[in-house]
Amino acid sequence: MEEEEPLLTGSINRDSGDYGSHDNGEHYQHEESPGSRRLSYSVTDDSYPVYEDADADLYIQQAVVFIEDAIQYRSINHRVDSGSLRLYRWYYSKICQWGLGFTIAVVLGLAFIETPSSLTYTSDIRFKPKPWEPPCGLTEGIEIVCLCIFILDVTVKSYLIGWEEFRMNKWLIGYIVVIAASVIDWMLSISMMCSESLRVRRLIRPFFLLQNSSLMKKTLKCIKRTLPEIASVILLLALHICLFTMIGMLIFAKSDDPKKNGEWETYFKNLPKALSSLLVLLTTANNPDVMIPAYSLNRGYSIFFILFSVFGTYLLMNLMTAIIYNQFRGYLLMSVQTSIIRRRLGIRAAFEVLCCPGRGHTSTQSEGHVERVAVNMFLQVMDRVHMKSYCRQAIIKAAQQFPDGFINGEAFQRLFNELDKDFMKEHPPKPEYSSPVLRHIQNIYSHFYITVLGNVVALANVICICTVLVLNSEKSGSEKNNFYMEILNCIFILYYLIEMLLKIVAFGWRGYLSYRNNIFDGFLTVLLLAIQIAIFITYRIPYEDVDPVPRHVMALWEMVRLVNMLIVFRFLRIIPEIKLMAVVASTLVDLVKNLRAFAGILLVVYYMFAVLGIWLFQGAINPPSNMSLISNASIENKTDGPFSMDCGTFEQLEYWPNNFDDFASSLVLLYNIMVVNNWHVFTDAYTRYTTEWSLVYFVAWWLTSSVMWVNLFVALILENFTYKWDRSNALSVEDVERIAYQSTVQLIFREHVQEPTEEELLAQLQQHPHLHLSW
C-alpha cells in the first residue's frame, strides 16, 4: 500500500494505543533480550500455534502485511491468522480508506444544510433571503447511514486488534462513546420531529475526523505537552496587560477639561474597556488609533504605547512562538523515533516469519544458529506487497544480487532502506537522427541556452502586455484598440509553438514529457493556440477596423484578456530554473501533499468554534429597522440601543455579512478574526449586542487559531524548507527538478533519530499479542 500521508506515532507505552487511525497501535516497554535460538509460530484467536509444517502461504501473507505496516508506520500488534489478515488488508485498502474519508466529509458537511441552513447567495442580514430548510428526515437519514458506517468501522478495528488491546485504547473507547452519544441525540431529534434547537452531536462530529488521523492525535498530544510552557508565557502576557492597564488608567484618568478626555472616553473609561483596548493593541489591530487622542495632546504619551508594544508584541509574543516551535519540534523528534521503531519492527517481524524451518531457514554454523530467508520466497512476498513501484524495483534488484540465494537479518533490514531514499527520475535517451539538419536542431534545442532564451522571450511578452495595459488602463472594453495587442500575441504564440515543436524533435515525445516544465509550457501553448484560432474564426483578426462592439458569445476584449492572462501565467516557467524558487515551490507543494493532517486540526477547531458561535450568537445582531439611517450622513453618532454609527464600528463599516446566523458565515467570521485585522470591531459589536462575556469566546478563538495553530504551522514550514534547502545545496538546478523528494515528517528528522538495537526489536516482537516467538 502506498503511503498516503506521513504518520507520526506517539509514546511507546502500551496504554496510549492509536488503533483508531491509519497508524494504529503503540509499542510496549522493552524487556530483557531473548536468547539466540528461536522458533516462530502464529496464533489465531486463542494462541493456538501453527508450526513449521503449516501452509507456507500463511507465512508469506503475514510477511506481506508486516512489510505494508512498516511502509505505513502502522503497528503490527493485530491478529495474524489468515482470515484476519485478509480483512486487515481489505480494511486498509485505498477504496475502504477513501470510503471512510468520504463518509467523514459527508457527516461534517451536513452542518451547511441543517438548520440554520447556509444555502443562500449572501450572508448579509440586510438582504439575506429565507434559506431553504431541508425536510425532517433528509439530513437525519444521511447521518444515520454515516453512523452505521462508523459502527462498522469501530467493530472491524476492535476485532483486528483483539479485546486486550481494545480495552486499553482510549481513542477507540472514545470513538464508541461519541457514536453512542450521536445515535442517542439522533433519536431525540427524530422523536421531536427535528424541532430541537440544540444538536449536541454537531459539536462532537469533528471527533470522527480526529480519530481517523494519527498525526492529528499526536499534534494534540504535542499541544498538551506544550501547554505548561505556553501557560507561563500567557501568564506573563496577562501580567503585562494588567500592569499597563493600571498604569494607563492612572495616566489617562478623567480630567476636568472635557477637551482632554478623548483617550479616557474612548479607550480607558473603565477596567474592561482598558483591558480590551490593550489586548487588541497586543495584536496591533488598533494601532495607532488607540494612541491618537493622547498623542495629539502630548507626544510624550506615545512612550507608553511604544513600550507596551515592544514588550508585549515583539518580545513576549515572539517568545511564545519560539516556545511552541521548540516544544513541537522536540515532540516531533520523539514521535519520529517511534515511527522508525515501527518501521524496523515491521520489517524484522516479516523476516522472523519467513526465516523459520521449512520457509527458507538454512544451515547452522559452528558459531551458532543463523536465520536466513531464501531470495525466491522474498520475491514472492514483494510481488504481493502494495508499495511504490520504483521502491519495489530497487528492492527486488538489490535482493537478486545475493550470490548464495539467501538473505540474513541485517541485509534484510538494509534492503528496505530504499524506502527512505529520494527517487531520481531518469530522462529517456534522445532520439538518434540520420539527417544532419535534425541532428543540428537537436544539438541547438537541447542546449541550456535555449531555455534561457525562452525565459527572456516570456519576460519580453509580459513587459509588452504590461505596457499595453498601462496605456489602456482608463479605457473601457469598447474603447480599447486590440489590433496591436493581437499582433504581439500572434508573434509570441508563434514563437512558443515553434519552440515546443523543435523541443519535441530534440528530445522525442517521451523525453519532452519527462520534464515537468515542458508539460506546463506545452499545455499552455496548445491552449493559447486554440484560443487564438477561435479569435481568428470569430473576428477575422488581424484587421484594424474590426467592430469592437461585442456581438458574439465572448467579446473580443474578453478573449484577448484571457490570452494575456495565460501568457502571464506561462511566465511561471522560470521557477524551475532558479534553485531557490524551485525549492520554495516544491516546499509549498509538499505542504499541501504531506501536511494535510495539520489542516485537519484547524478544520476541527474551526468546526467546533463555529457550532459554539451559532449556539451563542445566532440572531444576536440585527440591522436597524430603518435602513435609511445607515446612508444618512446627518444622523447622530449615537443612536438608541446597541446600534452605533461611530467611525470604525461594525455598523459604520457595514460588516453585516459577518455573523453567526449560519455555519458558512460563522466560518468566514472566524477566519476574519484569525487574521486579527480589525478583529476588535467584531468583539466590540458582540459585546454591545450581547454581553461583555462574549469577549471570552473571541479571545479563546484568537489564542487557539492565531497563536497556537499558526505557530505550529510555521514550525512545520520552517522544518520542511530547511530540510529541502540543506539537501539541495549540493545539487544543480536540473537535479533539483529531477528529484522527487520524500519529505515526509519522518524523513525531515531522520538524521536526528537513533536506530533501534537488535535487542529492542526482539524484545518488542516477543510481546506481540497474536504472534508468539519462542527462543
Q: Is the dihedral of CA 186, 187, 188, 190 positive or negative?
A: positive
Domains, the chain, ranges and CATH? 51-221 (no CATH), 226-337 (1.10.287.70), 436-542+552-577 (1.20.120.350), 589-623+647-741 (1.10.287.70)
Q: Note the pLDDT of residue 649.
A: 83
Q: Note the pLDDT of residue 452.
A: 79
- Tens digits of residue pLDDT in 310-348: 999 888 888 887 877 777 666 666 667 777 888 889 999
How far is the C-alpha of 595 from the C-alpha of 717, rounded, in Å?
A: 10
8-state DSSP, 370: -
| Type and span of the H or E element at 763 | helix 758-766
| Type and span of the H or E element at 740 | strand 739-740
With a cut of 80, say whether residue 198 has pLDDT above it.
yes
Which residues fall within 8 angstroms of residue 158, CB to CB, at 6 or more apart?
Answer: 166, 172
Q: Which of 453-462, 661-670, 706-715, 753-762 has the highest mean pLDDT?
A: 661-670
Maximum alpha-carbon separation in the chain: 104
374 three-class SS: strand
With a cut of 90, say whether residue 546 has pLDDT above it.
no
Among residues 229, 8, 21, 25, which one has the least CA distance to residue 719? Answer: 8
Average pLDDT score over residue span 587-598? 66
8-state DSSP, 41: E
Alpha-helical segments (H) within 435-571 = 436-445, 448-471, 483-513, 516-539, 556-570
Query: How does residue 476 score in pLDDT terms, banded at 50, 70 and 90?
Result: low
Q: Which amino acid is at 132?
A: W
Q: Which of 101-115, 345-359, 384-398, 420-434 has the highest mean pLDDT?
A: 101-115
How far is the C-alpha of 25 from the C-alpha of 27, rounded, in Å?
A: 7
Other residues' Cβ atoms within 10 Å of the Cβ of residue 673: 25
Which residues fall within 8 angstroms of residue 374, CB to CB, at 6 or more apart?
Answer: 360, 362, 405, 406, 407
Stronger pLDDT, 746 or 28, i.e. the higher one:
746
- Tens digits of residue pLDDT in 258-315: 888 888 888 898 888 899 899 999 988 888 889 999 999 899 999 999 999 999 988 8
How far is the C-alpha of 324 from the C-alpha of 322, rounded, in Å?
A: 6
Query: How does residue 360 score in pLDDT terms, banded at 50, 70 and 90?
Result: very low
Average pLDDT score over residue span 470-475? 70
Q: Note the pLDDT of residue 102.
A: 95
Q: Note the pLDDT of residue 580.
A: 60
Helix axis angle, 317-354 relative to 56-71, nearest 10°?
170
563 burial level (CB within 10 Å; 0-12, 13-18, 19+): buried
Which grid coordinates are listed for 528?
493559447
- Tens digits of residue pLDDT in 29-83: 333 333 333 434 444 443 334 444 446 788 889 999 999 999 888 889 899 998 9
With a cut of 70, say whether residue 141 has pLDDT above it.
yes
How far CA 642 is from CA of 222, 621, 717, in Å, comes to: 42, 9, 43
How far is the C-alpha of 282 from the C-alpha of 315, rounded, in Å?
A: 11
Query: Locate cell 467584531: which residue?
Result: 682
739 three-class SS: strand
774 three-class SS: strand
The total number of residues written for the chain in this structure: 775
Q: Cis ω on the peptide bond leading into residue 403 (within 30° of 0)?
A: no
Compute φ and ψ for 602, nearest 5 degrees: -65, -40
Average pLDDT score over residue span 408-418? 85
Which residues fall within 8 angstroms of residue 434, CB to CB, at 6 or more apart?
Answer: none
Q: Note the pLDDT of residue 622.
A: 84
- Tens digits of residue pLDDT in 691-734: 888 989 999 999 888 888 887 777 777 766 776 666 666 555 55
Q: Note the pLDDT of residue 69.
A: 92
How far is the C-alpha of 74 from the C-alpha of 533, rounded, in Å?
A: 54
Dihedral of the CA atoms 197, 200, 206, 208 (nearest 10)? -130
Q: Note the pLDDT of residue 424.
A: 57
How far CA 115 is from CA of 226, 567, 695, in Å, comes to: 38, 46, 26
How far is the C-alpha of 346 from the C-alpha of 681, rounded, in Å?
A: 55
Strand intervals (E) in 280-380: 364-365, 368-369, 372-374
Q: Cis ω on the peptide bond leading into residue 542 (within 30° of 0)?
A: yes
| Type and span of the H or E element at 82 | helix 82-91
352: Cα within 13 Å, side-chain hemisphere: 28
With a cut of 70, say whether residue 159 has pLDDT above it.
yes
Which grid coordinates are listed for 116?
440554520
Stronger pLDDT, 551 or 412, i.e. the higher one:
412
With a cut of 50, say whether residue 454 has pLDDT above it.
yes
Query: How does residue 363 score in pLDDT terms, banded at 50, 70 and 90?
Result: very low
Q: Note the pLDDT of residue 614.
A: 94
8: Cα within 13 Å, side-chain hemisphere: 32
Q: Is the dihedral of CA 183, 189, 194, 199 positive or negative?
A: negative
With a cut of 70, say whether residue 627 has pLDDT above it.
no
Among residues 134, 129, 212, 145, which one has the least CA distance to residue 182? Answer: 145
Compute φ and ψ for 406, nearest 5 degrees: -135, 150
Lowest mean pLDDT among 372-386, 451-465, 656-670, 739-753: 739-753
